[in-house]
């Protein structure tokens, strides 16, 4: 299999130019079953790969994106792209997910709006966008579709599944649902379940969207989109992604292009201007229905609801788990990661944990930092070397 | 002067039946100047009083309400009222603001929507509601109107000014602006200034309101009101009033009237249902323009922007200041109160401080609690006794 890397830019540490590939799964035969009891057919998946697959498939790393991410995790789509993939600081030659060593796969999540089937996709039964006819999905469904993609690619073993925030939930789900396939899971800035406060913020976001008159019960694809509601949802969520300290240091009470208060209902402070820009940009590019579906999937995630379920679900898990958190993250604060570690330790799983100091709150996992990069590199390289030693010791070709 | 207490219910600790009074100030002569440079005339003020004014005016306590409060701080408007005034747990016979001893005044803030002039009031120049023609106001303007009300009532000395959250800002403003009139200020769950994060939340709230198509540039008084935007703003703000721990204990991940997930875009969790109810109720009863104006006034509050201004403003202040905070308050967390105390101590002001343990977050100041009640009672009674000792020692009639 050839990766989607087109140009080679090892010198810059970038995977260079990449393209997003599309594949249609569950086109024939049985549809994909969903946790809700519904099923879906066909399902299109958008994905990118970086690096080369080993003959023994010992070097596969599956990258899972968060709420607003997509398949484009590294490199550039065009030479004049001002932005690189969302985890470009971590994926590339010489980077923690080193494309000289690993074969990296990242796909747009089920329910998404960037190539993989979601509410904005065409429902083959109606030839119209699904809208709210798209079935509700779970983190388990997202992982199930990723597994189907890997099956399609002929890949049956994953060295590591890695993700931050909701991506960390998906990585945890992989370790639970496909224990025979996963050697390691990297769970960053995540949580074993949403708290009442997390659910509350999601509920407000959904309310902002569904109360936008342009929402039109989700049937807005032919006309005006509920950009205003979505932008409000994003502005609010964005506050939770940054730390109070980070906002203070970046903006404080600095005024925006003015020396005195406006004494009008105008933008006075730089932080207001920044948030409005973030909301407006996101409102135009993201699909509001996807926002509804994905926040619901996060609300539902709760793999360890009681001791019996926890014991049953963790019994077959043998992956090495590495949990990372950031001390200023208040969306999923470190105590949530510690709770996950406590559960895993209680069940004698192979887990390690590190809390990092960062001023950047929840979004820290997206920002390149030598200390996080080193920790991630150490984890995935150890997995790789253990795997090769194992193969070597049982006489398989290395 | 007679208080507005109509029936006497000392046995129950309630001030009993009360009425809100209305007075028109600045009806003739000069208008009230505002910090923006604009001025306002006439201004209606809604206020309530509880208890009896001493002949020497030594027992006046001015109560300042927060964002969504009003003049109705204690008692009931009708015998069948299911709700009492917003600080009924603290005001009444035998309560910390003991109406057997003190004369309590609470007025609706300037810019409000519950009797005092604000954007929903009639502009005498147009005979239409002001809407966005109402001038922007500050915490200083709010205090200035309270002072005018007291002048109108013939009251020139205040034993204590007390308030929580924005009410605490107003209390601080009184100590700064009218140092010769104020013996004490009680500043609860407040802050010397909004942080970037606080401003950010206010900015999202204003965006939710102004993007509501029913907002109509603030001219909505004849038609549909921007209830949806206001309800979203309130839902979000409500999250910041409660602690994560409090939300967890009250709701956790409990489902609302169902045993299983809906797998639909419905209300699954109890916390969602609660927030939607809070938002919807508030959206119907509160004025969206007032929400815009008052959040702006909070954003602007910053009495200690630099060392020179701080020194100049604090120089004449001789009030006793008591700062209270709650350990789970994350809207204005304890570090903000400590910062205020640090500033006051640095300038050798008479300040004391206590942080209270509470699971209830920012809203703790509204909830009756024996420990907070005792601390408040101790502070105001000491002020009262000092005042009477002083009068006694200089030979004035007691």
What are B306-328's pLDDT values in tens digits?
A: 999 999 999 999 999 999 999 99
Answer yes or no: do B200 and A250 touch at CB < 8 A: no
Phi/psi at A76 (5° precision): -125, 150
pLDDT of A396: 57
The Cα-based distances of B267 to B231, B237, B273 in angstroms read: 16, 19, 6
Q: Please determine, for residue B73, whether its predicted confidence score (pLDDT) is greater than 80.
A: yes
- Using an 8 Å CB-CB cutoff, list chain B residues near A204: 232, 235-236, 239, 275, 279
Using a pLDDT cut of 90, give the percent of chain B over it. Answer: 93
Contact B288, B229 (CB under 8 A): yes
Residue A248 sits at the chain B interface (C-beta within 8 Å)? yes
Minimum CA–CA partner of B240 in chain A: A197
Quick one: three-class SS letters along A301-368?
CCCCCCHHHHHHHHCCCCCEEEEEEECCCCCCCHHHHHHHHHHHHHCCCCEEEEEECCCCHHHHHHCC
SS3 A45: strand
Domain ranges of chain B: 10-194+303-393, 199-295
Nearest by CB to B235, which of A207, A250, A267?
A: A207
pLDDT of A393: 82
For residue A304, what pLDDT band results from cuts at 50, 70 and 90? very high
Burial A209-237 (b: 16+ CB within 10 A, else e): bbbbebbeebebbeeebbbbbbbbbbbbb
* pLDDT, tens only, A243-278: 999 999 999 999 999 999 999 999 999 999 999 999
pLDDT of A1: 39
Mean pLDDT (chain A) is: 95
Answer yes or no: do B296 and A265 touch at CB < 8 A: yes
Residue B307 sits at the chain A interface (C-beta within 8 Å)? no
Residue B207 sits at the chain A interface (C-beta within 8 Å)? yes
CA within 13 Å, CB half, A128 = 10
pLDDT of B1: 39
Mean pLDDT of B175-204: 98
- Say how many CB pairs under 8 Å bridge A and B: 153
**Identical fold at A10-196+302-393 and A199-295?**
no
Q: Please determine, for residue A11, whether its predicted confidence score (pLDDT) is greater than 50.
A: no
- Shortest distance between the Cα of B25 and any Cα of chain A, in A, equals 23
Count of beta carbons in the 10 Å neighbourhood of residue B250: 16
Residue A219 sits at the chain B interface (C-beta within 8 Å)? no
Minimum CA–CA partner of B217 in chain A: A265
- Two structure tokens written together for A387: 């795997």
Interface of B with A in 54-113 (CB under 8 A): none
pLDDT of A124: 93
- Using an 8 Å CB-CB cutoff, list chain B residues near A232: 204, 207-208, 211, 232
Residue B276 sits at the chain A interface (C-beta within 8 Å)? yes
Residue A199 sits at the chain B interface (C-beta within 8 Å)? yes
Rounded CA separation B27/B29 (Å): 7
Phi/psi at B377 (5° precision): -60, -45
- Using an 8 Å CB-CB cutoff, list chain B residues near A201: 236, 239
* pLDDT, tens only, A85-127: 999 999 999 999 999 999 999 999 999 999 999 999 999 999 9
- Using an 8 Å CB-CB cutoff, list chain A residues near B253: 193-196, 199, 302
Answer yes or no: do B232 and A299 touch at CB < 8 A: no
Residue B17 sits at the chain A interface (C-beta within 8 Å)? no
Mean pLDDT of B239-256: 96
- Does a cis peptide bond (omega within 30 degrees of 0) precede residue B42? yes
| Site of tokens 């510690």 | A338
- Shortest distance between the Cα of B1 and any Cα of chain A, in A, equals 38
Interface test with B, best of A200, A201, A271, A294 (most B CBs within 10 A): A200
pLDDT of A391: 79
Helix (H), strand (E) at residue A104: strand A103-107
Nearest by CB to B200, which of A247, A292, A296?
A: A247
- Two structure tokens written together for B340: 């205020």
pLDDT of B295: 98
Number of H helices, E strands in chain A: 10, 14
Count of beta carbons in the 10 Å neighbourhood of residue B15: 32
pLDDT of B45: 98
pLDDT of A152: 98
Q: Please determine, for residue A239, whether its predicted confidence score (pLDDT) is greater than 60.
A: yes
Answer yes or no: do B204 and A275 touch at CB < 8 A: yes
Interface test with A, best of B203, B309, B331 (most A CBs within 10 A): B203
Minimum CA–CA partner of A295 in chain B: B265
pTM: 0.95
The CATH H-level (homologous superfamily) assignment of domain B10-194+303-393 is Alpha/Beta hydrolase fold, catalytic domain (3.40.50.1820)
Residue B255 sits at the chain A interface (C-beta within 8 Å)? no
Residue A228 sits at the chain B interface (C-beta within 8 Å)? yes
For residue B358, what pLDDT band results from cuts at 50, 70 and 90? very high
ipTM for the predicted complex comes to 0.94
pLDDT of B11: 41
Nearest by CB to B196, which of A199, A248, A300?
A: A248
Interface of A with B in 312-341 (CB under 8 A): none
Count of beta carbons in the 10 Å neighbourhood of residue A180: 9
Residue with the bigger pLDDT between B13 and B226: it is B226
pLDDT of B322: 98
Nearest by CB to A275, which of B203, B211, B265?
A: B203
Answer yes or no: do A200 and B248 touch at CB < 8 A: no
- Two structure tokens written together for B45: 């003020």
Answer yes or no: do A196 and B271 touch at CB < 8 A: yes
* pLDDT, tens only, B144-158: 999 999 999 999 999
pLDDT of B391: 79
pLDDT of B3: 42
Answer yes or no: do A200 and B275 touch at CB < 8 A: yes
Q: Please determine, for residue B392, whether its predicted confidence score (pLDDT) is greater than 90.
A: no
* pLDDT, tens only, B123-143: 999 999 999 999 999 999 999
The Cα-based distances of B196 to A361, B231, B236, B271, B348 in angstroms read: 14, 23, 16, 27, 28
Give which of A157, A75, A146, A136 is closest to A109, Cα–Cα: A146
Minimum CA–CA partner of A137 in chain B: B263
pLDDT of A392: 81
For residue A10, what pLDDT band results from cuts at 50, 70 and 90? very low
Distance of CA A290 to the CA centre of its chain: 14
Q: What is the CATH number of domain B199-295?
A: 1.10.1740.110
For residue B7, what pLDDT band results from cuts at 50, 70 and 90? very low
Answer yes or no: do B207 and A268 touch at CB < 8 A: no
Q: Please determine, for residue B355, whether its predicted confidence score (pLDDT) is greater than 80.
A: yes
pLDDT of B397: 52
Count of beta carbons in the 10 Å neighbourhood of residue A171: 30
Nearest by CB to A263, which of B136, B207, B248?
A: B136
Phi/psi at A43 (5° precision): -130, 125
Interface of A with B in 120-149 (CB under 8 A): 132, 135-136
Q: Is domain A10-196+302-393 in CATH 3.40.50.1820, yes or no?
A: yes
Q: Please determine, for residue A35, whether its predicted confidence score (pLDDT) is greater than 80.
A: yes
Residue A302 sits at the chain B interface (C-beta within 8 Å)? yes
- Classify strands A158-164 and B158-164 as parallel, antiparallel or unpaired: unpaired
Residues facing residue B188 across a β-bridge: B164, B324
């Amino acid at each position: 299999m050839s990766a989607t890397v087109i140009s080679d830019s090892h010198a810059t540490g970038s995977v260079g130019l990449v393209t997003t590939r599309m594949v249609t799964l569950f086109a024939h035969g049985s549809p994909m079953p969903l946790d809700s009891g519904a099923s879906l057919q066909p399902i299109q998946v958008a994905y990118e790969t970086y690096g080369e697959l080993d003959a023994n498939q010992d070097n596969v790393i599956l990258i899972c994106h968060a709420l607003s991410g997509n398949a484009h995790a590294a490199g550039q789509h065009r030479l004049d792209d001002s932005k690189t993939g969302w985890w470009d600081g971590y994926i590339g030659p010489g980077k923690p997910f080193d494309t000289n060593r690993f074969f990296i796969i990242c796909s747009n999540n089920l329910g998404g709006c960037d190539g993989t089937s979601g509410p904005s996709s065409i429902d083959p039964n109606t030839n119209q966008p699904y809208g709210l006819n798209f079935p509700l999905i779970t983190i388990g469904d997202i992982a199930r579709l990723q597994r189907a993609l890997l099956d399609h690619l002929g890949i049956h073993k994953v060295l590591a599944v890695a993700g931050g925030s909701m991506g960390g939930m998906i990585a945890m789900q992989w370790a639970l649902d496909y224990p025979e396939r996963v050697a390691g899971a990297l769970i960053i800035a995540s949580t074993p379940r949403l708290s009442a406060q997390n659910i509350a913020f999601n509920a407000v976001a959904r309310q902002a969207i569904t109360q936008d008159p342009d929402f039109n019960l989700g049937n807005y694809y032919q006309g005006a989109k509920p950009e205003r509601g979505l932008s409000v949802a994003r502005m609010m969520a964005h506050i939770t992604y940054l730390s109070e300290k980070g906002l203070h240091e970046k903006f404080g009470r600095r005024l925006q292009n003015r020396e005195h208060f406006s004494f009008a209902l105008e933008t006075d402070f730089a932080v207001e201007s920044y948030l409005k820009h973030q909301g407006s940009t996101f409102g135009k590019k993201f699909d509001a229905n996807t926002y509804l579906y994905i926040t619901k999937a996060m609300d539902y995630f709760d793999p360890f609801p009681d001791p019996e379920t926890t014991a049953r679900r963790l019994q077959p898990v043998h992956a090495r788990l590495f949990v990372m958190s950031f001390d200023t993250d208040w969306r999923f604060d470190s105590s949530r990661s510690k709770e996950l570690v406590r559960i895993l330790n209680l069940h004698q799983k192979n887990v390690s944990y590190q809390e990092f100091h960062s001023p950047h709150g929840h979004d820290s996992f997206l920002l390149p930092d030598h200390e996080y990069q080193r920790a991630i590199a150490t984890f995935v390289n150890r997995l790789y070397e253990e795997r090769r030693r194992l193969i070597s010791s049982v006489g398989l070709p290395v």
